[in-house]
Amino acid sequence: MLGLKLATDPRWANIAEQNLEEILTDHAWCEQKAASNAIYLIINNAELPDLVSTMSEIAIEEMQHFKMVHDIILERGYEFGRERKDDYVNQLVKFCKKNATREEAFIDRLLFAAMIEARSCERFRVLSTNIKDEKLAKFYHELMVSEANHYTVFLGFARKYAGEIDVEKRWKEWLDFEGELIKSYGTKETIHG
């Protein structure tokens, strides 16, 4: 359904489970960045009322996710660390079109967001089906559903506003690129690590 080229090895969930403090900290920051991305799209596309409305909802939802994760960190007596670098996302940023027109940059930004939602959703599914902690497994299942919905929204807007851009071709390029990229991950206790 998500079109991903490569599934995460479930052993990654065991790595993650061994350091819940670290994965939860990294995860909280992923949610904050997702909210920031939605706000970025609002700032740059004020003339699109449907996009602004939907991105407002997504920004709020992502900050609710952030708070939920932060609450779990506090409940468990963990320490919420500083923002973690997300090497995977930084590699995706590099794949965004260079010297793009405003329209190309907009569509690529939507596809970039759809890509991250798709992989995050898949990682949450792997966590929810593999970790022994029942409360967290249920939590990750709920988030998986929410991020799948966001994935659909971003891809939907990319298709709607594609104009002259061949969005299906570009989305395929994103999926191919990500499918190769993800081969070097799956070894760290971070959401995309």
Nearer to Fe ion, 106 or 124 (CB): 124
Give the amino acid at 179: G
Beta-carbon neighbour count of residue 157 at 10 Å? Answer: 24
Contact 175, 151 (CB under 8 A): no
Reading the block at residue 186, the tokens are 């799956």
Check residue 192 for interaction with Fe ion (CB under 5 A).
no
Q: How far apart are CA 118 and CA 147, in angstroms?
A: 7
Give the interface segment with Fe ion, choosing from 32-40, 68-76, 128-136, 161-169 (CB under 5 A). Answer: 32-40
Give the interface segment with Fe ion, choosing from 59-67, 69-77, 129-137, 171-179 (CB under 5 A). Answer: 59-67
Q: How far apart are CA 106 and CA 104, in angstroms?
A: 5
Check residue 150 for interaction with Fe ion (CB under 5 A).
yes
Site size toward Fe ion (CB under 5 A) is 7
Q: What secondary structure letter does DSSP report for 34?
A: H
Shortest distance (Å) from residue 132 CB to Fe ion: 23
Give the count of alpha carbons within 13 A of 158, CB side only: 26
Check residue 123 for interaction with Fe ion (CB under 5 A).
no
Check residue 34 for interaction with Fe ion (CB under 5 A).
yes
Check residue 108 for interaction with Fe ion (CB under 5 A).
no
Percent of the chain that is helix, strand, coil (3-state, to 5): 75, 0, 25
Q: Can you tell me which of 26, 62, 104, 189 binds Fe ion, judged by CB under 5 A?
A: 62
Q: Can you tell me which of 65, 109, 123, 192 binds Fe ion, judged by CB under 5 A?
A: 65
Check residue 147 for interaction with Fe ion (CB under 5 A).
yes
Give the amino acid at 95: F
Rg (CA), the chain: 16
Check residue 109 for interaction with Fe ion (CB under 5 A).
no
Interface residues with Fe ion (CB under 5 A) are 31, 34, 62, 65, 117, 147, 150
